[in-house]
């Protein structure tokens, strides 16, 4: 079963076709880079995959089910994590309180929330600031906290929209290491970016989108052989 599969996925904004008959195929255990210039249709696609934006036409399958089906969708959403481009954290919570809140929403027990939460804060080098309110966080720290929150329930499939955008090199490296470890353990990561260098450094597979069309989809070895 593919982790992600779409069939002729299409989105119109009024008369404008932002995503045009896209057929994605993402194998479990891949770190899949969805690459394209600004305006190519990456955010529109990831929003249709994660249930934020309804496709105009076409089908999405995640982990073997339809996230847009009322019954299947609930089960699938429990198994996926999302780090959106525009972060919405609660300003008046500390990092630790925020993770506790997210953990309770996912019905995790307190011991799991604490142990896994501390582990993620350490991996992302956020230890020592867990008592600060998130309103005081830099952009990079917020990106890392959003990633920690998405990983807390241990999703099988993780989506990230431009996770390296506007973060410093050290932060980029800790995010990169965490994502690479995550797929090494059998989970699947789907990440959008407009930076080819990021795909070359971290991804196992790539899909290239331009003007709403998928123009390439292959492994990194295949991409290197072609270029």
Can you give the binding site for ligand ADP, defined by CB under 6 A?
A: 13, 16, 18, 36, 38-44, 164-166, 169, 172-173, 176, 195, 197-198, 201-202
Tell me which DSSP letter residue 133 carries: B
Pick 109 or 197: Cβ nearer ligand ADP: 197
Residue 7 tokens, joined: 């069939």
Pick 148 or 160: Cβ nearer ligand ADP: 160
Pick 16 or 91: Cβ nearer ligand ADP: 16
Task: Provide CB contacts within 8 A for 191, sequence distance 6+.
Answer: 31, 32, 33, 34, 159, 160, 163, 179, 198, 202, 203
User: How far apart (Å, rounded) are the C-alpha atoms in residues 188 and 76?
Assistant: 14
Closest by CA to 33, choosing from 178, 209, 191, is 191
Pick 48 or 108: Cβ nearer ligand ADP: 48
Kindly state the smallest distance separating residue 105's Cβ from ligand ADP, in Å: 27
Kindly state the smallest distance separating residue 65's Cβ from ligand ADP, in Å: 24
Pick 59 or 195: Cβ nearer ligand ADP: 195
- 74: helix, strand or coil: helix
Kindly state the smallest distance separating residue 104's Cβ from ligand ADP, in Å: 32
Residue 113 tokens, joined: 């929330």
* Beta-strand pair 213-219/205-210: antiparallel
Kindly state the smallest distance separating residue 158's Cβ from ligand ADP, in Å: 15
> Which sign, positive or negative, has the C-alpha torsion 21, 64, 196, 193?
positive
Pick 7 or 173: Cβ nearer ligand ADP: 173
Kindly state the smallest distance separating residue 177's Cβ from ligand ADP, in Å: 9
Kindly state the smallest distance separating residue 219's Cβ from ligand ADP, in Å: 18
Residue 208 in contact with residue 177, Cβ under 8 Å? no
Closest by CA to 179, choosing from 37, 81, 44, is 81
């Amino acid at each position: 079963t593919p982790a992600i599969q779409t069939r002729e996925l299409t989105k119109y904004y009024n008369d404008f076709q932002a995503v045009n008959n896209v057929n994605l195929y993402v194998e479990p255990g891949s770190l899949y880079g969805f690459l394209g210039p600004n305006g190519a249709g990456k955010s529109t696609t990831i929003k249709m995959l994660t249930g934020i934006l309804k496709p105009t036409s076409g089908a999405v399958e995640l982990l073997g089910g339809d996230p847009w089906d009322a019954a299947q969708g609930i089960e699938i959403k429990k198994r996926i994590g999302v780090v959106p481009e525009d972060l919405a954290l609660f300003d008046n919570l500390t990092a630790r309180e925020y993770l506790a809140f997210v953990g309770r929403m996912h019905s995790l027990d307190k011991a799991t929330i604490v142990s896994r939460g501390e582990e993620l804060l350490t991996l992302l080098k956020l230890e020592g600031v867990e008592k600060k309110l998130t309103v005081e966080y830099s952009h990079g720290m917020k990106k890392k906290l959003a990633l920690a929150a998405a990983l807390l329930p241990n999703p099988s499939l993780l989506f990230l929209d431009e996770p390296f955008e506007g973060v410093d090199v050290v932060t980029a490296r800790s995010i990169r290491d965490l994502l690479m470890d995550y797929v090494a353990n059998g989970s699947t990561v789907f990440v959008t970016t407009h930076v080819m260098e990021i795909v070359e450094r971290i991804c196992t597979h790539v899909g290239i989108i331009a003007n709403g069309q998928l123009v390439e989809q292959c492994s990194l070895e295949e991409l290197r052989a072609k270029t």
